Amino acid sequence: MTVQSPIKPKPVTPEEAEAAGVTVPRHVAIIMDGNGRWAQARGLDRADGHAEGASGVRQAVRAARKYGVEYLTLYAFSVANWARPTPEVEALMRLLVEFAEKEKAELREHGIRVNVVGEIEDLPTATRHAVEHVIDYCADGDRMTLSLALSYGGRRDIVNAVRSLAVRARAGLVLPEEIDENFFHREMTTHTLPDVDLLIRTGGESRVSDFLLFEAAYAEMQFLPIMWPDFREDTLVDCFREFTKRQRRFGRTGDQVDVQGEVPFDPLQPK
């Protein structure tokens, strides 16, 4: 098992990032896949792969903070993951406690706020308390928001939002014509997050697996062959380089973007 290193990012100015030839996305979301295969390839337990994955989390947080990412959202545990064998689920729940306890001082020191998307109430009490504690402890962070997706499902988040609006509409508290994309988003557990700019998945599969279905509508996607425990700062910087090459058109033509620049699609702007 790797010795855990603290999160000690060296600040990078936007000018330094530009000099390094990268545009830093505002919101990066990551599907951290491949822990199990990483472990199995070494004759280890899947739980060892997750433990090694926790050090990938530290690398990613450190690098994102260093390059000035404002929002980093990590898919740490999906609704579907509850169906895994109990010892694996328990190991993941313990790792979350460990992460919260070991990293909280560094997170706070570096202005990293912690947030949860998904259903924190579903977690075992000890995990929930540890996560709630790190959220409170880092609440003043204003440099980056680290969101952990826990017991998260994109479809479930959408359906819960629909249900909550339906209940309020039935009570006459919401008018159907008031409901637009922004209004709807306010009902979701991701309501404090902007749209995703860059969605990365490690582990060699090219699918989104119920992650941020609403919020990643215009995200650039990058699917990496490496397993999550092998994720390093350089991996993230390579993703930024690739992101820098992409032309984000948001429904416009390439010629329009050349003239007008990248104008994010905003359904509320008059046509």
HEC readout, 78-129 = EHHHHHCCHHHHHHHHHHHHHHHHHHHHHHHHCCEEEEEEECHHHCCHHHHH
The first and second tokens of residue 36, run together, are 């199990």
The first and second tokens of residue 58, run together, are 């530290």
Are the C-beta atoms of residues 83 and 59 closer than 8 Å to each other? no
In the complex, residue closest to ligand FPP by CB: 36
Q: Can you give the binding site for ligand FPP, defined by CB under 6 A?
A: 32-37, 50, 53-54, 56-57, 74, 76, 81, 92, 95-96, 99, 148, 203, 228
Catalytic site residue from 33, 48, 157, 195: 33
By beta-carbon proximity to ligand FPP, the closer residue of 44 and 169 is 44
Shortest Å distance, C-beta 36 to ligand FPP: 3
Q: Clarify whether 33 is annotated catalytic.
A: yes
By beta-carbon proximity to ligand FPP, the closer residue of 53 and 154 is 53
Are the C-beta atoms of residues 130 and 93 closer than 8 Å to each other? no
Shortest Å distance, C-beta 176 to ligand FPP: 38
Shortest Å distance, C-beta 147 to ligand FPP: 10
By beta-carbon proximity to ligand FPP, the closer residue of 148 and 193 is 148
Catalytic site residue from 81, 122, 160, 238: 81
- Rounded Cα–Cα distance for residues 95 and 101 (Å): 10
By beta-carbon proximity to ligand FPP, the closer residue of 22 and 196 is 196
By beta-carbon proximity to ligand FPP, the closer residue of 129 and 168 is 129
Shortest Å distance, C-beta 178 to ligand FPP: 36
Are the C-beta atoms of residues 91 and 53 closer than 8 Å to each other? no
- Residue 232 half-sphere exposure toward CB, CA atoms < 13 A: 2
Q: Clarify whether 81 is annotated catalytic.
A: yes
- Rounded Cα–Cα distance for residues 51 and 45 (Å): 10
Shortest Å distance, C-beta 50 to ligand FPP: 5
SS3 221: strand
Shortest Å distance, C-beta 211 to ligand FPP: 11
From edge to edge, which strands make up the β-sheet containing 220-223? 112-118, 144-152, 71-78, 27-31, 198-201, 220-223
């070991």: which residue's tokens? Answer: 102
The radius of gyration computed from the CA coordinates of the chain, to the nearest angstrom, equals 19
By beta-carbon proximity to ligand FPP, the closer residue of 22 and 148 is 148
Please give the positions annotated as active site.
33, 81
